[in-house]
C-alpha cells in the first residue's frame, strides 16, 4: 500500500509538482498521464525518493523520508527512461546490479547461487537470456530497455515505478510488458505506478489513473468515473476519446 | 579473464625488472633479482655481483622503479574513479585540475619552507592533498552551476580553465623567486630522479589503502556509471559514496603529485585501455588500472632516463607525448559516437 499525500517538488526555485495526492492499494496499479512537461517524471522520482520533496510518501504506513536509502530501495524500484551508456557491461552483469541490496557484503560482494538464479529468471521473463553475455552497448534501444526492466525486477521490490517503459519497444513487447506487469502485480502485494504516453497501453495496465496538468492533479480515480472523456479532452487539448473511436473506425473499414 | 589478468601482471613485473636492469650501467635482470633477494633475506651477496651494482640497484633504481610504479598506480586508480563517478571518459586528475592544485600546494611548500607541526615529513603530501581536493571541489562546484548533470564536457572545460589559472599562479610565484625557478620548472614537468626509499614508504601505504577502499566500492562504482539517479534507485547512498570516492581519488593523486611533480595523461590512458581489455566492471578495472598504470609509468620513466644518454628527461613530458594524442583520439571518437 502506497500513499502519497500533498507532494510538492521543486528544482531550485521553480516548483514543478504542486500538492499531488493519490493512493495505490496492494495488488493494484495506477497510471500517471498528462501532456509533456506536466511533472509526471518528477513526481515519480519524488516517490522513489530520488528527488527531495515535501509532503509524505508512505509505504505500508512508513514515511520514506524517515527511511534509509536501502530500506526505500528494498520496497520501491524505479525504471528510468534510458539514457546514454557511457561504460558498457554485459547484459547479465547489468541485471545483476539490481541485486545490489540482496548480495551479502564481502570484499568484492560476490553474488550467491540464489542471486544468479534470480537474475537468470529475470532475463528469461524479458526474453534476453540468450544474449546474457552480450555487451549492452551493442543492443538495440528496445533490448536495452528490457535490460533495465530486468534489472528493476532483479531488485525484487514491492512497488515498481516505470517512466515510459514502452519507449523503443516493438508493439509485441509493449503488450507483453504490460501483460507481464499485470501478472506481476497480482501477487505478493505488488503494485505498479506507470507513467505512460500511450493511453491505450495505460488502459491495459490499470483503470486507475492520475491525470496531471501543469504539475497539478487534474483528476484521480477510475476511468469512466473521475476520468471522463471531457476531462481528457481538456487536459490534452484534443478530443482523445473521439480520436480513438475514429482510429478504430478507420481500422475496421480498411481491414474488413 | 584469469588468463588476461595473469598475462598483464606478469608483463608488469617484467617491465618492473627491466626498469631496474636498464640504465647507464646495465645490470642483468638475473643479477638485479638476486640483489633484491639477498637484501630482503639479509643473506650475503654472491661474489660475482659487484658492490657498485648492488648500490645502483638497491639505493637508486629499485626505489625509483617502485616509486614510478606506485605513482602510476595511484594516478590511474584515481583517474578510473573520477571517470566513473562523473560518468565522463575524459575525466582525470589532470583534466579536473587536481594536479595543478596539488602543484600549487607543493610549490608553496618548496618556496616558503612551510612545515606542519608534528607532521613534518607529511607536510608535502598533506598540503598536496588539500590543494588537490580544493581544486576538484572548485571545478565540480563551478561546473555543476553551469550544468547540473555534469555529463557533458562542461566539467572538463571548467577543469582546464582552473588548471590553466592555477598553473599561472604557480608560474607567477616561481618567477618571483628566481633562486627556485629551475627546481620548480623541473618539478612541474614531473620526475622520479633523486627520490629515495622514504618517498616510497610514505606513498605506498597511502596508495595501497586508497586502492583497497576503492575496490571495496567496486559495485557502487559500476552502478554510478549509469548515473546518480539509477544508482540511488538501486539502493546506493550516492551522496556518501560519491564523496568518499572523490576524496580518496584526490588524496591519492594529490599526495603522489606533491612528491614527483605533475605527470599527466597516465590516469586517462591506463583506465581506458583496461576497460577495453577487461570490460567496465570495477572489480577488474580498479586493480588492473593500478597494475597497468604502474607498469606504464615504469616504462615511461625508463624511456625518460635512457632515450638521451646521460640525461634525465622529465617523465611528465614523456607521458604527455604518448598521452596527448591518445586524449585527442578518445575525445574525437567519443564525439563521433555521440553524433
Residue B228 has pLDDT above 90, yes or no: no
Residue A221 has pLDDT above 60, yes or no: yes
The b/e string for B254-283 (b: 16+ C-beta within 10 A; e otherwise) is bbbbbbbbbbbbbbbbbbbbbbeebbbbbb
Report the DSSP pairing between strands A62-63 and A208-213.
unpaired
CB pairs under 8 A between A and B: 76
**Residues in B touching A72 (Cβ below 8 Å):** 235
Phi first, then psi, for residue A193 (nearest 5°) are -115, 115
Phi first, then psi, for residue A218 (nearest 5°) are -90, -35
- Cα–Cα distance, A35 to A240 (Å, whole number): 12
Q: Are A4 and A30 in contact (CB under 8 A)?
A: no
- Residue A242 within any structural domain of the chain: no
- Cα–Cα distance, B323 to B336 (Å, whole number): 20
Other CB atoms within 10 A of residue B333 CB: 10
Residue B56 has pLDDT above 90, yes or no: no
Other CB atoms within 10 A of residue A156 CB: 15
Q: Is A184 on the interface with B (CB under 8 A)?
A: no
Contact A151 B234 (CB under 8 A): yes
Task: State the pLDDT at residue B214.
Answer: 94
User: At A255, which helix (H) or strand (E)?
Assistant: helix A240-255
Angle at B288 between CA B221 and CA B34, to 5 degrees: 150
Overall number of domains in chain A: 1
**Average of pLDDT values for A189-197?**
89
Exposure of B240 in the CB half-sphere (CA atoms within 13 A): 8
- Cα–Cα distance, B207 to B287 (Å, whole number): 12
Q: Is A73 on the interface with B (CB under 8 A)?
A: yes
Q: How far is A97 from chain B (nearest CA, A)?
A: 7
Task: State the pLDDT at residue A140.
Answer: 82
CA distances (Å), origin A141, targets A169, A196, A253, B199: 8, 17, 34, 51
Task: State the pLDDT at residue B44.
Answer: 81
Exposure of B270 in the CB half-sphere (CA atoms within 13 A): 38
Residue A222 banded pLDDT, cuts 50, 70, 90: confident
Q: How far apart are the first and last CA of chain A?
A: 45
- Per the listing, cell 553551469 goes with B146
Residue B210 banded pLDDT, cuts 50, 70, 90: very high
- The predicted-structure confidence for B294-308, as pLDDT tens digits, reads as follows 999 999 999 888 888
- The predicted-structure confidence for B312-323, as pLDDT tens digits, reads as follows 888 888 888 887
Report the DSSP pairing between strands A29-33 and A14-24.
unpaired
Residue of A nearest to B232 (CA): A50
- Per the listing, cell 581489455 goes with B277
- Residue A130 within any structural domain of the chain: no
Contact A87 B88 (CB under 8 A): no
**Average of pLDDT values for B228-252?**
88
Q: Is A132 on the interface with B (CB under 8 A)?
A: no
Contact B281 A89 (CB under 8 A): yes
Query: Domain range holding A58?
Result: 2-88+157-223
Residue B76's Cβ-count burial label (10 Å; 0-12, 13-18, 19+) is: buried
Cell numbers at residue A148, please?
533495465
Q: Is A50 on the interface with B (CB under 8 A)?
A: yes
Residue A38's Cβ-count burial label (10 Å; 0-12, 13-18, 19+) is: buried
Task: State the pLDDT at residue B339.
Answer: 35
Least confident residue range of A240-249, B182-191, B311-320? B182-191
**Residues in A touching B280 (Cβ below 8 Å):** 87-89
- Residue A209 within any structural domain of the chain: yes
- The predicted-structure confidence for A77-122, as pLDDT tens digits, reads as follows 998 776 667 788 999 999 999 989 888 766 666 788 888 888 998 8
Q: Does domain B61-338 bear CATH number 1.20.1370.20?
A: no
Least confident residue range of A36-50, A57-71, B46-60? B46-60
Q: Is A14 on the interface with B (CB under 8 A)?
A: no
Of the candidates B171, B167, B170, B146, the residue with the CA atom closest to the CA atom of residue B158:
B146
Q: Which of the two residues, B220 and B112, has the higher pLDDT score?
A: B220
Q: In the predicted model, what is the mean pLDDT of chain B?
A: 84
Task: Transcribe A48-59 into DSSP letters.
Answer: TTSS--EEEEEE
- The predicted-structure confidence for B2-24, as pLDDT tens digits, reads as follows 888 999 899 999 998 888 888 87
- Residue A64 within any structural domain of the chain: yes
- Cα–Cα distance, B165 to B61 (Å, whole number): 36
Domain segments of chain B: what residues?
61-338
Contact A97 B233 (CB under 8 A): no
CATH number at residue A74: 3.40.50.300
Chain-centre distance for alpha carbon B4: 23
Residue of B nearest to A76 (CA): B233
Chain-centre distance for alpha carbon A242: 27
Amino acid at each position: 500500500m502506497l500513499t502519497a499525500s500533498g507532494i510538492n517538488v521543486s528544482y531550485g526555485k521553480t516548483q514543478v509538482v504542486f500538492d499531488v495526492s493519490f493512493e495505490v492499494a496492494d495488488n493494484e496499479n495506477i497510471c500517471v498521464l498528462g501532456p509533456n512537461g506536466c511533472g509526471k517524471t518528477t513526481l515519480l522520482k519524488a516517490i522513489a525518493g530520488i528527488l527531495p520533496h515535501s509532503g509524505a510518501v508512505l509505504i505500508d504506513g512508513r514515511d520514506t523520508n524517515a527511511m534509509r536509502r536501502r530500506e526505500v530501495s528494498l520496497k520501491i524500484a524505479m525504471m528510468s527512461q534510458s539514457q546514454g551508456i557511457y561504460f558498457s557491461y554485459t547484459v547479465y552483469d547489468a541485471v545483476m546490479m539490481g541485486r545490489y541490496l540482496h548480495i551479502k557484503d564481502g570484499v568484492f560482494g560476490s553474488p550467491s547461487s540464489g542471486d544468479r538464479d534470480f537474475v537468470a529468471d529475470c532475463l528469461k521473463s524479458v526474453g534476453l537470456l540468450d544474449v546474457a553475455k552480450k555487451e549492452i552497448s551493442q543492443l538495440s534501444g528496445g533490448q536495452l530497455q528490457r535490460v533495465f526492466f530486468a534489472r528493476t525486477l532483479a531488485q525484487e521490490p514491492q512497488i515498481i515505478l516505470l517512466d515510459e517503459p514502452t519507449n523503443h519497444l516493438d508493439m509485441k513487447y509493449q503488450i507483453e510488458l504490460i501483460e507481464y506487469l499485470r501478472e506481476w502485480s497480482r501477487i505478493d502485494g505488488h503494485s505498479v505506478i506507470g507513467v505512460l504516453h500511450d493511453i491505450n497501453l495505460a488502459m491495459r495496465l490499470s483503470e486507475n489513473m492520475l491525470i496531471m496538468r501543469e504539475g497539478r492533479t487534474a483528476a484521480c480515480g477510475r476511468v469512466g468515473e473521475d476520468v471522463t472523456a471531457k476531462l481528457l479532452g481538456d487536459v490534452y487539448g484534443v478530443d482523445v476519446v473521439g480520436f480513438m473511436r475514429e482510429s478504430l473506425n478507420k481500422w475496421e473499414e480498411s481491414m474488413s | 579473464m584469469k588468463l588476461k589478468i595473469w598475462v598483464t601482471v606478469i608483463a608488469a613485473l617484467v617491465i618492473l625488472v627491466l626498469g631496474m636492469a636498464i640504465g647507464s650501467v646495465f645490470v642483468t635482470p638475473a643479477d638485479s633479482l638476486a640483489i633484491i633477494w639477498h637484501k630482503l633475506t639479509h643473506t650475503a651477496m654472491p661474489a660475482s655481483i659487484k658492490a657498485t651494482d648492488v648500490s645502483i640497484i638497491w639505493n637508486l633504481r629499485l626505489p625509483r622503479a617502485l616509486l614510478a610504479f606506485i605513482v602510476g598506480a595511484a594516478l590511474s586508480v584515481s583517474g578510473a574513479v573520477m571517470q566513473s563517478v562523473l560518468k565522463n571518459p575524459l575525466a582525470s586528475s589532470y583534466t579536473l585540475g587536481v594536479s595543478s592544485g596539488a602543484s600549487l600546494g607543493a610549490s608553496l611548500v618548496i618556496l616558503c619552507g612551510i612545515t606542519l607541526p608534528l607532521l613534518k615529513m607529511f607536510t608535502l603530501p598533506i598540503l598536496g592533498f588539500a590543494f588537490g581536493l580544493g581544486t576538484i571541489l572548485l571545478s565540480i562546484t563551478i561546473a555543476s552551476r553551469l550544468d547540473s548533470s555534469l555529463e557533458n564536457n562542461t566539467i572538463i572545460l571548467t577543469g582546464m580553465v582552473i588548471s590553466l589559472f592555477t598553473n599561472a599562479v604557480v608560474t607567477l610565484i616561481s618567477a618571483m623567486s628566481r633562486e627556485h625557478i629551475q627546481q620548480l620548472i623541473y618539478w612541474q614537468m614531473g620526475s622520479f630522479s633523486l627520490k629515495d626509499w622514504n618517498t616510497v614508504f610514505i606513498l605506498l601505504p597511502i596508495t595501497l589503502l586508497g586502492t583497497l577502499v576503492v575496490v571495496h566500492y567496486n559495485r557502487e562504482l559500476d552502478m554510478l556509471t549509469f548515473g546518480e539517479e539509477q544508482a540511488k534507485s538501486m539502493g546506493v547512498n550516492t551522496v556518501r559514496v560519491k564523496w568518499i570516492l572523490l576524496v580518496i581519488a584526490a588524496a591519492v593523486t594529490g599526495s603522489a603529485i606533491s612528491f614527483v611533480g605533475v605527470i599527466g595523461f597516465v590516469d586517462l590512458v591506463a583506465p581506458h585501455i583496461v576497460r577495453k581489455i577487461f570490460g567496465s566492471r570495477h572489480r577488474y578495472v580498479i586493480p588492473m588500472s593500478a597494475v597497468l598504470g604502474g607498469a606504464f609509468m615504469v616504462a615511461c620513466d625508463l624511456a625518460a632516463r635512457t632515450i638521451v644518454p646521460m640525461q634525465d628527461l622529465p617523465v611528465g613530458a614523456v607521458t604527455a607525448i604518448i598521452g596527448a594524442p591518445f586524449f585527442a583520439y578518445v575525445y574525437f571518437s567519443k564525439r563521433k559516437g555521440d553524433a
